[in-house]
Each structure stands twice: as structure tokens, then as C-alpha cells.
Structure 1
Amino acid sequence: MAEIDILPANRTSADGPKTYRVKSFGCQMNVYDGERMAEMLDERGILPAAEGEDADLVVLNTCHIREKAAEKVYSDIGRLEKAGRKAGKAPLIAVAGCVAQAEGEEIMARAPAVSMVVGPQAYHRLPAMVDAAVAGQRSTDTDMPADAKFAALPRRRKSAPSAFLTVQEGCDKFCTYCVVPYTRGAEISRPYAALVEEAERLVEAGAREITLLGQNVNAWTGSDDKGRSVGLAGLIHALDRIGGLERIRYTTSHPADMDDALIAAHGEVAKLMPYLHLPVQSGNDRVLRAMNRSHTAEGYLRLLERFRAARPGMAISGDFIVGFPGETEAEFADTLSLVAEVGYAAAFSFKYSPRPGTPAAAMDGQVAEEVMDERLQRLQAALQRDSRAFNHSKSGETCDVLVERKGRREGQWIGKSPWLQSVHFYGDAAIGDMVRVTLGEAGPNSAAGTPV
């Protein structure tokens, strides 16, 4: 990207944007990135647009995992252009995130209304790009030095009761269906001291729960305050010592990066919630090899046994892809068998969709769309069955619920249980409260609670 003069914090150019809106798609890491971009714009004196009002600057923080992700970006750009023409004032448009990283130059060529394209490892330079856009300069920045990004981000000053903290980015696994190694780069771990400090700032700003994020979050490594090499378990133990922090979670994990210390932490750290998101993708070993997953179905099941031994009653979540190239009906049946054996509390499941540049996109045996549709329906029916059964198994238990928002009805509140269930209840409460409730009637996605 060309050199750009950067204005000091809390200053904007005279004719620059006064309001902004960040629209984030996809994973929790995108949510974290969106929050951090908003904080940078706040520091420059650009304010969030009021609900229902048009913004002077719109940041589309994109995700490349979903099917036709790029086309959805162009659709959003078109809507913004149309609204701008109608209002007589077009907003500045920035495209950020993984679609920006993968298709930056094409976006600039295809969508003249876009002023800025910035990748997920370069968004710390967004304020400078805004200044350039005000001066009439379009710019693209898809550099990949993630460590520089974090060093440039502002201090955390506000937080919701449940906050995200990115500790690790990138991926070295190169699953054959996945674009993450190309859009987020190689695995990097943020420094231990910087993470502890950011966690402390989040708690000071109002967070009572922190979820540690990474493409392979359990690949995080660092040196603690005594210079010892530690993994994610060591970081969790450090966060456990922060006063005012009541809950710790982490996602997304890879089976290959699990170690004894992290498994043991689930039995040692009371603040570490009894919930594990561990993607498996398929229950068939041939399909797993074709995906370049480094685990087997049996190895995955034995790993879950160890977690459940360390923390009985914990909730297990997973990811699944149906219709991977070459998948037969018998191989899909192995996935259904694995689902039945695990008993997932929650899961994400998708039809395979080819991503340009990934090895799987060129594989023989692409599965017909109607076959994938039918398999996905069967898989999701099984997952909903087990999710409902897990929620019913917790009925009658008393637990703490962290209140995150008001419900739709008068006096109703909604929050999360330790098992990440959405719990709704009636009573006196406020956002950020930890309310003791007895769980009652449950569906596949939520449960009712009665305050104790």
C-alpha cells in the first residue's frame, strides 16, 4: 500500500466521515476484528451511526468460509450504492476480512464504489486508509504481519459482559477444503504478557467472561512471566488469577494440538467452562485423509473420553462437512455413527462447497447437490436430537447464568449457562449480572430458567 499520512488520535479531516458502521460476517474472530476496527475509529473521533441512520463509513468485515461469500459482498456493496444515490450522499465503503484478502484487487476492479480493501492482518492501517479515501485515493492492503497489527491496536476501554480475545491466528494444517491458510496466513501466537494485559483491561472494562480465539487456538504457545514455555493451559491458568474474571472459554481447537495439560485444566480450573468445541468434520477415516485431517475417527473419540473423564458432564460441540468429494453413502453413515456415539450438545454442519485454489476443488467425485442436501438434512436431524437430549439432561440442575441482554418480553432476560446454552428467565436482573437459576423446559437451542 502507498505511504499515507496518519492523523493523530481523536482527529479527523474536516470533510472526513463523522459516523461509521462495521458489519461483521462469519466466525467469532471476525467479531473480535470488527470490535477492534470500531475501537480504532472511535479513537479517531468517528462515532457509531445511530440505529436506523445511514453511516458515512461502512466497513464490510467479510468471511470466506460460506458458499458464494464474495457474491454476497458485491450484493451488499450494490445495496449501499443504491441507498447512497437515493440519499444523495454515498458512504465510504471499506471491504475487510478474508474475502478482502483473497480477492482484493478483483474487488477494486469490479466495484468502483469501494474505497478501501484491507485484509485481516492489516486492518490496523484502516484509519490511514480512511484519510486517503477522503483525499480521493483508493487503496488496497493485504499484507500479512499479524504481530504488527496487534501492537498497533488501541487499549481496550469497553467490553460486553462476554468478550472475545484473539490469542492465535493463522493455520498450518492445510485441510484440502479450507482457505484459512491463504487468507489468515501461517500460525502465530500473540505474546503471553500482551494477552494477560488485554484480559485485565477487558475485565476492568466490564467483561466477566472471556473466550480465547484462534483458528487453532490450542496451538497457542508462549513464554510466561518466569520465562517458561507454556501452552494454552498455561495461559488459562494465568487468566484464572485475574480478579473479577469469572468464566474462561476457548475456540476453535484442532485434535492434533491437544495436550495433557489442556485436558487436565478442565478439571483444575473452575473458571474454565465445561464446554469443548472440537471439530471432527467426518466420521470416516478415508474421508478424513482426503481432507488432510491428521486424526482418525477412533482417535477423536478417545480424545473426547479423556476430556469427559477430566470434567464429567461437559458439553461437546463439533463441525461437520457432508458431501466432501468422493464421499459414499457408507462413508456418510460412519459420520452418523460417530454423532450417535458422541452425543453432541451443539454442532455446526455444512454442505461441502469448493473454494477456488484449494486442492479439494479440483478433486474427482464431486457429490451432487441433491445428495448433499439429503445427507445434510439427516445429519442435522441427528444433531438436533442429541442437542435436545443434552439440554433435557441438564433440566433440574442449578447453575449460574451470565446475563447478556434483555428478552423480547417484559421482565425477560437472556444469558448463557456454563454449557453455553441460551437460557431465558424472568426476574430482577441487569446485563452483566450472574444469576443463579434452576434449568427447566428445554429445546434444541435454549432452556428456560427459574431464578433461585
Structure 2
Amino acid sequence: MKKVYVKSYGCQMNVYDAERMSDVLAPEGYAQTDRPEEADLVILNTCHIREKAAEKVYSELGRVRQTKQERAQAGRETKVVVAGCVAQAEGAEILKRAQVVDAVVGPQSYQRLREILRAAERRRVVDTEFPVADKFDELPALDARRVRGRGVTAFLTVQEGCDKFCSFCVVPYTRGAEVSRPVAKVLAEARTLAEAGVREITVIGQNVNAYHGEGPDGRTWGLARLLRALAEIAGVARLRYTTSHPRDMDEELIAAHRDLPSLMPYLHLPVQAGSDRILAAMNRKHTGDAYRRIIERVRAARPDIALSSDFIVGFPGESDADFEETMRLVADVGFASAFSFKYSPRPGTPAADETAQVPEPVKAERLARLQALLEEQRQAFNRDTVGRTVEVLIEKSGRHPGQLAGKSPYLQAVVVENAGLSVGDVVPVTIVRAGSNSLFGGTNASRAGAPPTQPDVSANASAGEAALAVQ
């Protein structure tokens, strides 16, 4: 049996794509391996959001080249494929820079992976075309056995691409325009996941709350209506969605957080900056105060909502005063979990051509200050969780004998002493201790029927009080 090693970088979309690549290759006799030295096919599924992410790919290709040479000396052939957004952005340049690569495949082309590999037997291949047909129609049906092997949580792509054209972002160029999958096809895939034992589904897209799929009634459905339909599927205990844009956070979606018990109280809503001047330069088309008002409405609908966000520091032209506006927004809103980065110029984006680039030492100092505040908020929630009881989805065995690991509704990692539990169970767990990255607790049979306690957080809570999740 042939073996394939797939390494993914970047977003949840790449995780989903990597799984589907494995599904495409399964009929060709490929089994997955986590050891590149035993792989007949190596696929690097790449991310192009940040400069370092792209450079990591070339560093990894150096290691792959060594492995390929060693296998060749032993008489074993190795094919190497670069897929994903770096492949889409750089295309033939990858073949020039890395002779080890046999094929370059864009994120809209991997459904043709078998044909591409056959072509690569004769010549090196670049396939980065945006297909006319829906690539999801060409992907094989999900196999229940393979789904079960991936665990009780799953990503489900419902939307791809982005029409927002933020001035720092390559996604519209690498993933294309916003496209939403039809409702019927999304629900069919979700049912397959549920029937295979998946208990938590995270619907994903580059701009997922811009979802506008064709419904079975012939009308366009938004994300909120799709979530309501997904919530009716037997076996699905939890729903999440990511990643969203503030401009598409409509009232119907906010109401879904109020109305759907299975929609977890966790929202990742990137703001990027707190300065209106910088937000305008980023082409975000929202202000800091508009973002605050969205958060107020979300918290009014679901007071215990946990908030996560993305931040970029050192965007071209960002002054000290601009950065302080970002710090003020963080303090005002209270982000429980966040991803924060120094601005990285991406070729082909408008911001990359700006002359007022911020010096690297200034970026580093600002990032350190921002991350210190965000970490303070994250740890505050950890401490506040001790003594409370939260529902935990058991996902896997823990590191030590007698332990199981899972996630709280707020995406906290929770370690539970095994008390006759099974993977896939959703159980109330009383948190007894908070570590730096995980919570520790035990089940309480006497409270098994009681609802989980929730933090009492007002819309005007302070940063410490409103730190509601940890990732």
C-alpha cells in the first residue's frame, strides 16, 4: 500500500482541505502516515497570509529534498506536491526555487489531484486554475470509516473566497471571490459527519458569515438560517463557525446565538485594529465604535459569549496614538482569546506598496505590549472558571493514564479524570484547577442533570471581567 504524508499550515480551511485531499487519494491506494520518511507522496498544504508562513514552506522543502534523496538511494520513489495558497500565489516560481517539487496545486484544484499526479509522471505540473465547475461536486463522498478515524469534531467548509479586499490580505487573490455552497449539499455532508459519530461541527469559510447559499426553497439562505437547519440534525451536540467579518454580523445571526443551545457561546470576530484611521487604510469599512456596538448587541443576546479576535500591529502609517487606540479597544471589549501579529507585507496587496512602513523594532515592542494585555485577559478567565461547572465534550485520551481531554463551550482545553466516560460524551465538569493552557476538573454525578453555570458578564464589563475564553 502506498502512503501519503500531508502537512498543513495556517487556517482551519487548510485542515479541511488536507482531509479532503486524503479522501481524493484513497481510491488510488494511499494510506495516511505521519512519518514523511515512509511516504511515497508528500503534500505541503500551504498558507500565504504571512511572510514567515511562506518561508517555512521553502525550509520544509529543504528537509523533504533530503528525505527524497535518501529514499531514492534505497530504490523508493517520492513525489512532492505543494498545494494551498502559496501554490496559488507563486505557481511556477515554486518549481524554479525548489527542484524537489513535482507538482504545484492551487486550493481550487486539489479535486483533480489524481489526474495531476498521473501527469507528473511525465513532467512537472502547475495547476492553479480557478475551475468553472464546483470543486465540491468533484470530491468523493465522505467515507464513514475515515471520518470516525478523525475524531468527534469536524470542520465543514460552507463558503470560500472573500470580496472584502482588505489592503493587507491576499485571500481574494489566492482563494477568489466569495462562493457559498448550496444548503442541501452542506446539510448532506453534515448528516454524514453526524452518522459517523461527529458530535461538534465547525462551519468554516474565509468570510463565513457572508454565507449566501441557495436553499432548497430556491431562496438565498444566510448563515443564521443554515445554522438553524444544522442544529436539527440528530447527533450534532455542538455548532461553531469561523472566521467572520464585522460587516456581516447581522441581527439574524446575533439572534441565533440567543436561540440555539447547540451554537456554542464563542465568537471569533476579527477587528484587526482600534484606530479608525488605520481601519480605513486597511479597507475594513468599519470603525472601532461600530465594532464595540456589535459586541454590545451580541452580549445582549448571549451574555456569556466568549470573544476572540485578530490583530495586526505596525500596519503602514500606524502611529503611537493609533496603536494606543488598539490597546483601548482591547481594554474596552475584553478579548478572551486572540491571534496577534506584526504587519507582514504581502506581494500584490495595496499595503505592501505603502512607503510609511513601521520599523521592525517598533512593531516588536507594540506586539509585546498587546500580547501581554491579551494574555492577562486569557489567564483571568482561567482563574474565574475554577469552581464552576461547564459542559465538556470528551475528544480524546489525556496525556496520562486515567485522563481524558476535551473542550468547554468556550474552546477551553479541559483535562478530566476518567470516571467511566467515553470519547463523544458531553458531560458537566466541575473545574478544580487552572493551568497556563488547560483546565482540570472532574465529573459530578449528583449534578449531571443540572445546567452548567455561566459567568455573569454585562455588556459594559471591564476587560478582566469580560475575559471569557481561552484557546
For the aligned pair, the TM-score class normalised by the smaller chain equals: over 0.9
SS in 2 for 1:365: coil
User: Which amino acid is 1:149 matched to?
Assistant: K
Name whichever of 279-288 and 84-93 sits farther off. Answer: 84-93
The structural deviation recorded for 1:247 is 0.3
User: Which amino acid is 1:359 matched to?
Assistant: P
Structure 2 residue 72 is the aligned partner of structure 1 residue 80? no
The structural deviation recorded for 1:77 is 1.4
Q: State which of 85, 96, 100 in structure 2 corresponds to 1:109.
A: 96
Q: State which of 427, 433, 441 in structure 2 corresponds to 1:441.
A: 433
The structural deviation recorded for 1:448 is 1.5
Task: String of CA shifts for 1:359-406, please: whole Å, max 9, x gaps.
Answer: 111112111111111111110010011111123333322222112222
Aligned residues of 2:206 and 2:244 also touching (Cα < 8 A): yes
Q: State which of 403, 407, 415 in structure 1 corresponds to 2:406.
A: 415
Task: String of CA shifts for 1:105-144, please: whole Å, max 9, x gaps.
Answer: 10122222211100001110111111222x3322111112
Task: String of CA shifts for 1:288-329, please: whole Å, max 9, x gaps.
Answer: 000000110000011011111111111000000000011111
Question: 4+ residue runs of structure 1 moved beyond 6 angstroms?
Answer: none
Aligned residues of 1:169 and 1:215 also touching (Cα < 8 A): yes
Consecutive unaligned residues of structure 2, counting only runs of 5 or more, are 445-471
Which residue of the partner structure matches residue 136 of structure 1? 122
Alignment of 1:120-269 (within 5 A): 120-133=107-120, 135-145=121-131, 148-157=134-143, 158-159=146-147, 160-269=151-260
Whole-angstrom distance in 2 between the partners of 1:334 and 1:444:
28
Which residue of the partner structure matches residue 2 of structure 2? 18
Higher relative contact order (CA 8 A, sep 6+): 2
User: Which amino acid is 1:429 matched to?
Assistant: L
Name whichever of 86-95 and 252-261 sits farther off. Answer: 86-95
Change (3 A) 1:296 1:385: same
Whole-angstrom distance in 2 between the partners of 1:273 and 1:174:
29
User: Which amino acid is 1:119 matched to?
Assistant: G
Task: String of CA shifts for 1:4-53, please: whole Å, max 9, x gaps.
Answer: xxxxxxxxxxxxx8110111110000000000001111132211136575
Identity of aligned residues (%): 57
Task: String of CA shifts for 1:324-368, please: whole Å, max 9, x gaps.
Answer: 011111111111111111111100000001001111111121111
SS in 1 for 2:311: strand
SS in 2 for 1:164: strand
Change (3 A) 1:50 1:217: closer
SS in 2 for 1:106: helix
Whole-angstrom distance in 2 between the partners of 1:368 and 1:50:
40
Which residue of the partner structure matches residue 364 of structure 2? 373
Task: String of CA shifts for 1:67-115, please: whole Å, max 9, x gaps.
Answer: 2333222221121111222232351000000000000110122222211
Aligned residues of 2:5 and 2:36 also touching (Cα < 8 A): no
Q: State which of 12, 25, 41 in structure 2 corresponds to 1:41.
A: 25
Structure 2 residue 41 is the aligned partner of structure 1 residue 57? yes
Q: State which of 297, 313, 321 in structure 1 corresponds to 2:288.
A: 297
Change (3 A) 1:271 1:255: same
Which residue of the partner structure matches residue 10 of structure 1? none
Which residue of the partner structure matches residue 314 of structure 2? 323
Change (3 A) 1:369 1:416: same
Aligned length: 435
Aligned residues of 1:208 and 1:246 also touching (Cα < 8 A): yes
The structural deviation recorded for 1:433 is 2.4
Whole-angstrom distance in 2 between the partners of 1:282 and 1:49:
41
Task: String of CA shifts for 1:173-201, please: whole Å, max 9, x gaps.
Answer: 11111000000000000111000000001
Whole-angstrom distance in 1 between the partners of 2:24 and 2:321:
51
The structural deviation recorded for 1:444 is 5.1
The structural deviation recorded for 1:430 is 3.0
Consecutive unaligned residues of structure 1, counting only runs of 5 or more, are 1-16
The structural deviation recorded for 1:412 is 1.6
Task: String of CA shifts for 1:400-445, please: whole Å, max 9, x gaps.
Answer: 2112222221112211101111111211333322232112322453
Whole-angstrom distance in 1 between the partners of 2:323 and 2:103:
43
Change (3 A) 1:393 1:267: same
Structure 2 residue 421 is the aligned partner of structure 1 residue 429? yes
User: Which amino acid is 1:357 matched to?
Assistant: G
